[in-house]
Amino acid sequence: MPSTLSVAPWRVFAVEVRALRRLSPSFLRVTFSGPDLDRFADNGYDQRIKVALPRTGETAAELPHGADWYQQWRTLPEESRCHIRTYTVRAVRQDVQEVDVDLVLHGDGGPATRWARRARLGDRLALVGPDAGYDGVHGGVEFRPPAVGTLLLAGDETAAPAICAILERLPANARGHALIEVPDTGDVLPVSAPSGVTVTWLPRIGAAHGSRLAPTVAALAGELLPAARPALALAGVPAGSLAEVDVDRDILWEVPDVPPAAPLYAWLAGEAAVIRGLRRHLVTERGLDRSAVAFMGYWRLGRTAD
């Protein structure tokens, strides 16, 4: 085993597709196997990784190895660069050298969905993930709740794998709510959660993104945070600053430290404009301290790039 002083937090894992399981109309579980996945760190929660995807018509994707893999990839000719997308780890089985990743099938417009709809056993890809040989914090885990308090997890189908992974790692005494908006009733997936956490699936069935999630979050916030008060002034934030986030230009991603006295910890992820609206409601209309809200724009409606 190499010295942890010489090990980087993240490394490139060469993998191949060992299994494909269609969980529902919108979700595909891909099981990757690789000779060194026993070194893939199992951090749980919403651990983020990169997946290198084959270009259209190809069945393999490779990434340069080493700590500077990204810089090396950027220097490749565009026609030679594989696509890279960000996903959440769904499960790690180090003993059998396997990692599960759940993919959402969005039509056929993006490279991830195009590959997923044509994926075959034996396809060769690459994962950039946490190295278990690194003796430190890897990063890429944004779920950072307080030790006590009420949890609110809310997101659309792109956040469903992360929410489900979080639910399965929560302590038995956790309490709160998980709200997951999905395209169809067939996309309601089985998931284990502590008895004190209510899981609610919200099928859109053809309606607009956020049309089920936004009002449900607002209604629940009215119950959990009934004493609405202006929060921006209390937090020392200039009025209107939340509205200035432009989802077409800015990165909608903030994971602050959680104040121990917060009555609620909210973890919000999904389509950027919807998540921006949810966060604005909790902070400006319900008075929740902004440092108790983790919000992440996983994707933007009408755009396919990371």
Beta bridge partners of 268: 154, 295
pLDDT at 265 over 60: yes
Average pLDDT, the chain: 87
Check residue 256 and give its pLDDT. Answer: 82
Give the torsion through C-alpha atoms of 122, 114, 111, 306, to 10 deg: -100
The three-class DSSP label of residue 259 is coil
First to last CA, the chain: 35
Domain boundaries defined on the chain: 10-130, 150-228+246-299
Pairing assessment for the beta strands 197-203 and 175-182 based on DSSP bridges = parallel
Check residue 268 and give its pLDDT. Answer: 97
Range 46-61 average pLDDT: 89
What confidence tens digit (pLDDT) does each residue in 83-142 have? 899 999 999 999 999 999 999 997 666 888 889 989 999 999 999 999 999 999 999 999
* Alpha carbon 153 to chain centroid, angstroms: 12
Most confident of the ranges 73-87, 240-254, 265-279: 265-279
Number of alpha helices (DSSP H) and beta strands (DSSP E) in the chain: 5, 12
pLDDT at 243 over 90: no
pLDDT at 40 over 90: yes
Matching residue, tokens 């039509």: 107
Neighbours of 96 (CB within 10 A): 10
Query: Do the first three CATH levels of 10-130 and 150-228+246-299 match, i.e. the same topology?
Result: no
CATH of domain 150-228+246-299: 3.40.50.80
Neighbours of 230 (CB within 10 A): 12
10-130 CATH choice from 2.40.50.140, 2.40.30.10, 3.40.50.2300, 3.40.50.300: 2.40.30.10
What confidence tens digit (pLDDT) does each residue in 142-164 have? 999 887 789 999 999 999 999 99
Higher pLDDT: 78 or 283? It is 283
Distance of alpha carbon 125 from alpha carbon 17, whole angstroms: 8
Q: How confident is the model at residue 240 (pLDDT cuts 50, 70, 90)?
A: very low
